Amino acid sequence: MSVFRVVVFLILVSLILTSCGKSGKVEIHDPIRLELQNVNNLAQLPLSCIYREYPNKLNQILTGPDDLGEPSEIHPVFYGCFDWHSAVHAHWSLLRILHLYPNVEYKDSIRSVLHNNLISEKLLEELAYFEKEHNKTFERTYGWAWLLKLSAELLQAEETEMYEALKPLTNYLVELYTDYITKLSHPIRTGEHDNTAFSMNLILDYARTTQDSSLIALIENRALDFYIEDEKCPMHLEPGGHDFLSPCLEEILLMSRVMERTAFDLWAREFLPDLYDMNLKLKPLNTEYRADGKLVHLEGLNFSRARCLYALGSRYSDLAHLILIANEHAQASMSVIFEPEYSGSHWLASFALLALTEYNPYVQE
């Protein structure tokens, strides 16, 4: 780290301490609570699409006529909810709800779905699909990350039988990811599925939950390789019209998790200095065109922003004001999430749950 950065950091610390001495303690704000009735409503969204085969976006490479088939024939587990990755995180959503809210109204239906789908016979067929020569990049890396997130949730929820059934596919995707992230020369900074930092965050969750020290080290080192020199992230250029992720916030969330606190503070103040402004304005974005599969992404952006802001605001006292902004974002999309357009209903529940349960201490059982 340069001498200049160290000097800047010491000056900043001095200013912060002086400011705190004048104004007293930083005000602490509470994240919004996800009430049980909303959980019941959220559960209906993945339940309604898990077995819904059409419409379907297969995203497959055809090598011959034998590759053609019904979605449920090609993917016996993850065929519903419009596409493979949405089917994966729909399973995660149901498991997350059952894990954190055991009194959810639909608990019996959720258990039935999970125990019917997450079995070795079906999951080995999912693995066989990836093992084919032209399918090794299928759903890289977004779908892989969600699959590993599902695996981590199974372990945390002590669902041992389903965790072990998923393990062969999990291990294979870890191998594919390790090979890929080692070779990747530059991070992908898009606001959609390919975003490198988002997948690294989810896969880091898996690595730490399973105590996979090699994978933890790989992600931590690659994060520093990719992002340590970044500064002045152009958040004023966000979002793109199809974004459901914030490239700047996903990156700063990741770095907050892999850097020592003092070093992170120094880096973050150069990367996104506006976040430290108590008067920061960051407005939620909604769209009236929620039947459009791309334009509805902005509703998911509210949730993914909220997730990052909750994480930062709850971890760092001088960023506690971000919780208020996170609340505004989460509330903005919770108000429309239960509208019937399938373009949003097949995936938004997962992002709502990420936002409101991952870094929120007020999870209500």
Q: Where are the alpha helices (DSSP H) in 234-341?
A: 247-258, 261-271, 297-315, 322-334
pTM across the whole model: 0.92
- For 156-210, the DSSP string reads HTT-HHHHHHHHHHHHHHHHHHHHHHHH--S----SSTT-HHHHHHHHHHHHHHT
Which pLDDT value is given to residue 33?
Answer: 87
Q: In the numeric block, which tokens belong to residue 190?
A: 């898009």
Is the pLDDT assigned to residue 365 strictly greater than 60?
A: no
Q: In the numeric block, which tokens belong to residue 184?
A: 């990747």
Provide mean pLDDT across the span 216-227: 98
pLDDT by residue (tens digit) across 134-151?
999 999 999 999 999 999
Side chain identity at residue 172, one-letter code: Y
Give the rounded percent of residues in the chain with a pLDDT score beyond 70: 91
Structural contact between residues 81 and 344, judged by C-beta atoms closer than 8 angstroms: no
pLDDT by residue (tens digit) across 240-294?
999 999 999 999 999 999 999 999 999 999 999 999 999 999 999 999 999 999 9
Q: In the numeric block, which tokens belong to residue 114?
A: 């999970």
Q: Which of 170, 320, 300, 179 is nearest to 243 (CA)?
A: 300
Q: In the numeric block, which tokens belong to residue 59?
A: 């995203």
Measuring CA to CA, how many Å separate 58 from each of 21, 61, 72, 142, 291?
58, 9, 11, 15, 20
Structural contact between residues 344 and 299, judged by C-beta atoms closer than 8 angstroms: yes
Measuring CA to CA, how many Å separate 181 from each of 83, 84, 225, 252, 254?
24, 21, 11, 19, 15
Number of H helices, E strands in the chain: 16, 0
Structural contact between residues 207 and 216, judged by C-beta atoms closer than 8 angstroms: yes
Which 8-state DSSP code applies to residue 236?
G
Measuring CA to CA, how many Å separate 154 from each of 150, 213, 218?
6, 19, 23
Measuring CA to CA, how many Å separate 291 from each of 84, 140, 196, 288, 353?
20, 26, 27, 9, 22
Which pLDDT value is given to residue 360?
Answer: 72
Q: Which of 82, 102, 198 is nearest to 148 (CA)?
A: 198
Examine residue 239 and say whether the peptide bond preceding it is cis (omega within 30 degrees of 0).
yes
Q: What is the mean pLDDT of the chain?
A: 92
Q: In the numeric block, which tokens belong to residue 126?
A: 């999912």
Torsion over CA: 124, 130, 134, 138 (sign): positive
pLDDT interval class at 39 (50, 70, 90): very high
Give the rounded percent of residues in the chain with a pLDDT score beyond 90: 88
Which pLDDT value is given to residue 363?
Answer: 58
